[in-house]
Amino acid sequence: MSVPRLRSLVLSSALLFALAAHAEEPAAAPPARSMQEILDASQPADWRPLDPKNTLYLELEAGRVVIELAPAFAPAHVANIRALAKGGYWNGLSINRAQDNFVVQWGDPAEDQAQRKPLGRGAKAKLPAEFARSSERLPFDRLPDADGWAPEVGFSSGFPAGRDPAAKTAWLAHCYGAVGAGRDVAADSSDGTELYVVIGQSPRQLDRNITVVGRVVQGMELLSVLPRGSGPLGFYTDPAQRTPIQAIRLAADVPKKERTPLEALRTDTPLFAELVESRRNRRDDWYKHMAGHIDLCNVPLPVREAEEPPAPAKKKPARRRR
Amino acid sequence: MSVPRLRSLVLSSALLFALAAHAEEPAAAPPARSMQEILDASQPADWRPLDPKNTLYLELEAGRVVIELAPAFAPAHVANIRALAKGGYWNGLSINRAQDNFVVQWGDPAEDQAQRKPLGRGAKAKLPAEFARSSERLPFDRLPDADGWAPEVGFSSGFPAGRDPAAKTAWLAHCYGAVGAGRDVAADSSDGTELYVVIGQSPRQLDRNITVVGRVVQGMELLSVLPRGSGPLGFYTDPAQRTPIQAIRLAADVPKKERTPLEALRTDTPLFAELVESRRNRRDDWYKHMAGHIDLCNVPLPVREAEEPPAPAKKKPARRRR
């Protein structure tokens, strides 16, 4: 960090080899690995491929945004989103809202119900509220860290989540990149056509108040930079400000050679626990005070492109995909 | 909310009159006011004018970003920033870094020390680390809400802050919009020339590790939309991607008619406590689950333009400015 241009906040990637033990550490503590070292040491089994049936591509002129859907938490919404995507519902519609430090949102901009695009075959106009689900028999990789919004927090199916052991419920948390289904005042008034993405400080007050359907795993920087709307709630006042949606497709409906083969780091492994600890207590030379804590929404959830597109299983088993 | 176009997240402003009591509330509870109603009922004494000596204007082609400086927490850095601004240090330099969900940062992009812009008259090349200060005799409007990063959190001089009663220290928190002074590995290696602004989930792990000098109070949407850099740490790889800085000036050095007269809501009033509670427990019809909690960085800190520029005190006392 002797380069003045980088007189800057130092991230893990910048100090891979600056791992001198922190002065307050016990002398016997083993040297801690940085996040990058942990990722570099990961094995294929530490990663899971995204399921094309649960992967949505939002295609913009600027590029592709990849969303992982969460059928374990929002089965009815995910089924509807699959049907809407298959029918090309969003193709030609637009991103209509960008509210700073809150959300971007897309769907049909028409205010007049008569002018709104039909949902198409197989898509339902009415869905149940899927704000929370039973936590029984639900895998949950709990964080030990305290949280003000939920009795317990952690990860389920790779998603940041909250859990209430007394109520035996669990729900997805509104972290940066969370994708939710906009609704009216009635709890069951979302149909999955109006989707929003969190682009700022996590609005956890929305947890258990709206159906979270997934999260953006790649391409957030295509959404977070959209000009903010000047109308109420950040809606654009001039239709020309809207960002056109070229298409929203389920990866499974896209030819394999056009897919983005992604893998997400599993959250149920010792390696992931080590990664979280490396972020909870930064032991590199730059940090002078170890936090001793990490918030759910500050935990990185690494995603990487698979080294090669998955080959057809019958010809050549893709061993990394166990 | 019957307009489909607004099938969306509902903010306080959208449901001003939808204040039916929540089903779980005790029957005797008085009707709660929304944030907008609270602001509408505010009195001049609930607001404080920004001090031109502590107000920095970052002038971009897209408009003005207004920063309130925090001399109570970073006196040496603020003094240096004032000197740098007076000398026109940043004029013609650029925003050189935008890392998604983290920070934007500006300063001198030159990597070669010999090519870097001289600091100018009155600016120091070396400053002390101002990560935390004594909490004794420091006004602190404490939030009752738990926080994982600090023993206590609240507001001091209008800034989100943490406090440790055992260590008798207080520090500014890295919330959305926080402005800090980039540094190298040495704690005292910042000179205030490289400033960054938080544009994503609050990176509270930086608290007590770097000097926070203030916060953006207007114009965040001019910074948060900047294209993200593709180099390490979000630095731009192509100089053409940098955003030129027309000027950074202290408001006190700007002719009065060119100033942006802003007032910030005071954080030491019953009205502010009511506002926080209105966000901690949303009682409008849209919310089905009251959080019973608010994170420090989710508390809104309203700022408004003064109804008229402050008149010179000798001629016409501006009564709102008590």
> What rounded mean pLDDT belongs to chain A?
89
Counted residue by residue, chain B has a size of: 322
Q: Report the C-alpha gap between B274 and B266 in whole angstroms.
A: 12
List Cα–Cα distances, B314 to A6, B128, B318, B319, in angstroms: 48, 39, 10, 12
Q: How many other C-beta atoms can be found within 10 angstroms of the C-beta atom of residue B319?
A: 8
Asked whether the predicted pLDDT for residue A100 surpasses 70, the reply is yes
Please check whether residue A61 touches B, CB under 8 A: no
In this complex, which of A116, A225, A298 lies closest to B228 when CB atoms are compared? A225
- Residue A279: the pLDDT is 97
Band the pLDDT of A113: cuts 50, 70, 90: confident
Residues in chain A within 8 Å Cβ distance of B131: 288-289
Q: Report the C-alpha gap between A181 and A194 in whole angstroms.
A: 6
What is the residue-wise DSSP string for A139-167? --EE--S--SS-SEEEEETTEEEEEETTT
Q: Are B264 and B158 in contact (CB under 8 A)?
A: yes
List Cα–Cα distances, A308 to A46, A209, A312, in angstroms: 17, 40, 12
Q: Which residues have CB under 8 Å from A63's CB, separation 6+?
A: A219, A222
Band the pLDDT of A4: cuts 50, 70, 90: very low
Answer whether B207 sits within 8 Å of A5, measured CB to CB. Answer: no
Q: Which residue has the higher pLDDT, A171 or B24?
A: A171
Q: Report the C-alpha gap between B260 and B256 in whole angstroms.
A: 9
Strand order in the sheet with B63-69: B243-244, B94-99, B103-107, B195-198, B178-181, B211-218, B63-69, B55-60, B247-250
The torsion angles phi and psi of B258, rounded to 5 degrees, stand at: -100, 0
Q: B280 to chain A: nearest residue by CA?
A: A205
The residue type found at A226 is L
- Residue B111: the pLDDT is 84
Class (C level, CATH) for A50-109+124-133+179-260: mainly beta
Structure tokens at A199: 């682009």
Biggest CA–CA distance in chain B, Å, is 71
Indicate the DSSP class of residue B235.
Answer: B
In this complex, which of B18, B221, B233 lies closest to A8 when CB atoms are compared? B233
Band the pLDDT of A111: cuts 50, 70, 90: confident
- Residue B17: the pLDDT is 29
Q: Which residue numbers in chain B have pLDDT < 50? A: 1-26, 315-322
Cite the DSSP H helix spans in A258-313.
270-280
What is the residue-wise DSSP string for A70-89? -TTT-HHHHHHHHHHHHTTT
- Residue A25: the pLDDT is 43
Render pLDDT for A29-41 as a digit per residue (tens, 0 to 9): 567 899 999 999 9
Render pLDDT for B162-192 as a digit per residue (tens, 0 to 9): 999 999 999 999 999 999 999 999 999 999 9
Reduce the DSSP state of residue A257 to 3 states and report it: helix
Rounded to a whole number, what is the distance in Å from the CA of B317 to chain A's nearest CA?
35
Render pLDDT for A233-281 as a digit per residue (tens, 0 to 9): 999 999 999 999 999 999 999 999 999 999 999 999 999 999 999 999 9
Name residue B59's beta-bridge partners.
Answer: B64, B247
Please check whether residue A288 touches B, CB under 8 A: yes
Please check whether residue B110 touches A, CB under 8 A: yes
Band the pLDDT of A308: cuts 50, 70, 90: low
Q: How many other C-beta atoms can be found within 10 angstroms of the C-beta atom of residue B18?
A: 14
Answer whether B7 sits within 8 Å of A294, measured CB to CB. Answer: no
Q: Are B205 and B297 in contact (CB under 8 A)?
A: no
- Residue B31: the pLDDT is 72
Reduce the DSSP state of residue A240 to 3 states and report it: helix
Asked whether the predicted pLDDT for residue A180 surpasses 60, the reply is yes
Q: B199 to chain A: nearest residue by CA?
A: A200
CATH homologous superfamily of B49-111+122-262:
Cyclophilin-like (2.40.100.10)
Please check whether residue B196 touches A, CB under 8 A: yes
Answer whether A2 sits within 8 Å of B184, measured CB to CB. Answer: yes
Q: Which residues have CB under 8 Å from A174's CB, separation 6+?
A: A180, A198, A202, A203, A204, A206, A207, A212
Q: Report the C-alpha gap between A160 and A153 in whole angstroms.
A: 7
Residue ranges, comma separated, of all CATH 2.40.100.10 domains in chain B are 49-111+122-262
Residues in chain B within 8 Å Cβ distance of A105: 8-9
Kind and range of the H or E run holding A222: helix A220-223
Question: Of B194, B170, B201, B173, which Cα lies nearest the Cα of B96?
Answer: B194
Q: Are B30 and B59 in contact (CB under 8 A)?
A: no
Please check whether residue A101 touches B, CB under 8 A: yes
Indicate the DSSP class of residue A235.
Answer: B
Q: B144 to chain A: nearest residue by CA?
A: A148
- Residue B311: the pLDDT is 53
